[in-house]
Amino acid sequence: MSEEKKDDKLMEKIVSFAKRRGFVFGSSEIYGGFAAVYDFGPYGTELAKNIREAWWKAMVQENDNIVGLDSSIFMHPKVWEASGHVGGFSDPLSECKQCHSRVRVDHLLEDAGVFADEKMTEEEINILLVENKEKLRCPKCGSSDFSESKNFNLLVQSNLGNFTGDWDKEPTYLRGETCQGIYINFKNVMDSTRVKVPFGIAQVGKAFRNEITARQFIFRKREFEQMEMQMFVHPDDAMEMYEQWREKRWQYYLDLGIKEENLKWHEHENLVFYAKAAWDIEYKFPFGFKELEGVHARGDYDLTQHAKHSGKKLEYRNPQTNEVFVPHVVETSVGVDRTFLAVLTDSYVEEDLGEGKSRTVLKLPVNLAPVKVAVFPLMKNKPELVAKAREVFDELKMQYMCEFDDNGNVGKRYRRQDEIGTPYCVTIDFNTLETGIVTVRNRDTMEQENVNLENLQKYLADKLK
Ligand code: GAP
């Protein structure tokens, strides 16, 4: 259980801020909403895109032995039998007898300080449920009266290609994790590229799970996005590679600007039988430290299972030694949505400016900021200022996501840009028309600098590197 105090106020603030400023909307709101499904608004779409790009750069661009993949959401149903998801991918759920809401029993137990996880058997969970009855509270109504816990499969089913009335007897699945698409393309990637073990395959894409959620916003969604990398290594090198990736992934979050005190490692106490090691990087969300990313040493389980179920060899022949072996897998797996929430939480600041003034500012690193530069004419009713500002804007937008704003006074425009995390605001005033000098204002220091228009591109390129 996390020993940290929950910060419900901060959570409420972030949820309402995310909606008000166009980062995250609840899905289907005009129809009353749709539980645990969310949409990214205009600024959220930019932030999510920048998060994907930062991950892709750190994985595929910066490592010459990692290649990308974009496999389909639908796969042959046998994939999910081979992976073990049809038989064993489930959450322990119980019903509150008072308000009839469904609850995750492992989460209830954890919140009461009792170790439990979704890998336990129904019997083990039910023993804990009875033993700790008095400590457990329904998050909705506070009752301690729960039905017996049952395991419910998390895979989302589809009738794709099956037009019979009882399609659910042989369903297709929306993928529950993206990495299965990587395993089943292991041979294709090897045969079509010059990769040599150790090599990795990286992929970003949607995944779907029947989650029961307890007001954790985009932390636990039914439709979410994963960024997964599977490194295929010689069995003897697997644990060394694993340690290297633990270090790299920790450093990645620091490079992303996440405060180190808000990160910690958590070792899985209850490993699945095939795993050699599993650690999570946890982030201090407003509801406590929770999993952000998993780094797993999965042994040869995945390739062996798919080889067995498909009848195809999934092996590697070392071209120098001719040794043939089934590579072991080191996996790094993180959600776009969880990174998004971690980044929002980490960068959301309410600053007291003295004299009764304050501002909300998103102190995002420049590579993640949805808008990099905002351009303002000092006054909107002076056509010559507006025309010059448009000219500057039209030039800058070819390089960066930019925003043109002539609404309200400049102070209000700064506040609006601070809230969405825009690192630089450029103001065109009468002096610009005479001397070519613009004012560039820094989001974090709020200091203003005079920059000649001739040097503006270079100035911004240096700052936005
Ligand atoms: N292939 C391994 C795997 O899928 P996981 O721990 O189930 O492992 C990996 O998921 C990551 O995917 C998590 O650390 C989290 O960042 C993200 N994730 C998992 N379930 C999610 C959900 N329901 N909503 C949002 N993100 C989720």
| pLDDT, position 1 | 37
CA-nearest of 312, 335, 332 to 76 is 312
| pLDDT, position 111 | 85
From ligand 1's centre to the CA of 178, what distance in Å? Answer: 10
Residue 25 backbone dihedrals phi, psi, to 5 degrees: -115, 145
Q: Where would I find the H helices in 83-166?
A: 85-88, 105-111, 122-131
Measured from the CA of 178, which atom of ligand 1 is nearest?
1
Distance between CA atoms of 344 and 40, rounded to whole angstroms? 13
Distance between CA atoms of 342 and 339, rounded to whole angstroms? 5
Measured from the CA of 220, which atom of ligand 1 is nearest?
24
- Low-confidence stretches of the chain (pLDDT < 50) are 1-3
From ligand 1's centre to the CA of 269, what distance in Å? Answer: 18
Q: Which residue has the tokens 């301690």?
A: 144
Q: What is the pLDDT of residues 23-77, one digit of tens each?
A: 999 999 999 999 999 999 999 999 999 999 999 999 999 999 999 999 999 999 9
Distance between CA atoms of 79 and 76, rounded to whole angstroms? 6
| pLDDT, position 5 | 55
Asked whether 309 and 82 are in contact (CB, 8 A), the reply is: yes
Residue 352 backbone dihedrals phi, psi, to 5 degrees: -85, 120
Return the structure tokens found at 451: 């920059």
Distance between CA atoms of 235 and 99, rounded to whole angstroms? 51
Mention every residue, 6+ apart, whose C-beta is less than 8 A from residue 283: 258, 262, 263, 289, 290, 292, 338, 342, 345, 346
Q: What is the pLDDT of residues 295-328, one digit of tens each?
A: 999 999 999 999 999 999 999 999 999 999 999 9
The arrangement of strands across the sheet holding 90-95 comes to 102-104, 90-95, 150-153
CA-nearest of 424, 427, 429 to 445 is 424
Ligand 1, atom 4, residue with closest C-alpha: 177
| pLDDT, position 81 | 97
Return the best residue to mutate from 225, 291, 296, 331 for the ligand 1 pocket (most ligand atoms within 8 A of CB).
291
Ligand 1, atom 14, residue with closest C-alpha: 293
Distance between CA atoms of 456 and 461, rounded to whole angstroms? 8
Ligand 1, atom 7, residue with closest C-alpha: 177
From ligand 1's centre to the CA of 268, what distance in Å? Answer: 14
From ligand 1's centre to the CA of 328, what distance in Å? Answer: 21
Give ligand 1 pocket residues (Cβ under 6 A). 177, 179, 209, 211, 220-221, 224, 226, 228, 291-294, 331, 333-335, 337-338
From ligand 1's centre to the CA of 226, what distance in Å? Answer: 7
| pLDDT, position 120 | 86
Measured from the CA of 280, which atom of ligand 1 is nearest?
14
Asked whether 152 and 93 are in contact (CB, 8 A), the reply is: yes
From ligand 1's centre to the CA of 457, what distance in Å? Answer: 40
| pLDDT, position 238 | 98
Residue 238 backbone dihedrals phi, psi, to 5 degrees: -60, -45
CA-nearest of 461, 437, 458 to 449 is 437
Asked whether 147 and 118 are in contact (CB, 8 A), the reply is: no
From ligand 1's centre to the CA of 357, what distance in Å? Answer: 41
Ligand 1, atom 11, residue with closest C-alpha: 334
Distance between CA atoms of 429 and 41, rounded to whole angstroms? 32
- Per-residue exposure over 3-39, b if at least 16 CB sit within 10 Å of its own CB, e if not: eeeebeeebeebbebbbebbbbebeeeeeeeeebebe
Mention every residue, 6+ apart, whose C-beta is less than 8 A from residue 384: 433
Ligand 1, atom 18, residue with closest C-alpha: 335
Q: Which residue has the tokens 């808008």?
A: 371
Tell me the three state secondary structure of residue 227: strand
| pLDDT, position 3 | 40
Q: Which residue has the tokens 């779907």?
A: 208
Return the best residue to mutate from 24, 174, 224 for the ligand 1 pocket (most ligand atoms within 8 A of CB).
224
Taking residue 332's Cβ as centre, other Cβ atoms within 10 Å add up to 24
Measured from the CA of 291, which atom of ligand 1 is nearest?
14
From ligand 1's centre to the CA of 323, what distance in Å? Answer: 35
Return the best residue to mutate from 287, 295, 329, 333 for the ligand 1 pocket (most ligand atoms within 8 A of CB).
333
Distance between CA atoms of 297 and 284, rounded to whole angstroms? 24
User: Could you give the maximum distance between any two Cα atoms of the chain, in Å?
Assistant: 80
Tell me the three state secondary structure of residue 367: coil
Q: Which residue has the tokens 């038989």?
A: 87
From ligand 1's centre to the CA of 373, what distance in Å? Answer: 33
Ligand 1, atom 25, residue with closest C-alpha: 220
From ligand 1's centre to the CA of 335, what distance in Å? Answer: 6
From ligand 1's centre to the CA of 197, what distance in Å? Answer: 26
The whole model's pTM is what? Answer: 0.94
Ligand 1, atom 19, residue with closest C-alpha: 335
Q: Where would I find the H helices in 278-429?
A: 301-310, 336-347, 383-396, 410-420
Return the best residue to mutate from 338, 339, 340, 343 for the ligand 1 pocket (most ligand atoms within 8 A of CB).
338
Concatenated DSSP letters of 59-81: IIIT-TTEEEE---SB--HHHHH
| pLDDT, position 209 | 96
Per the DSSP assignment, residues forming a β-bridge with 102 are 95
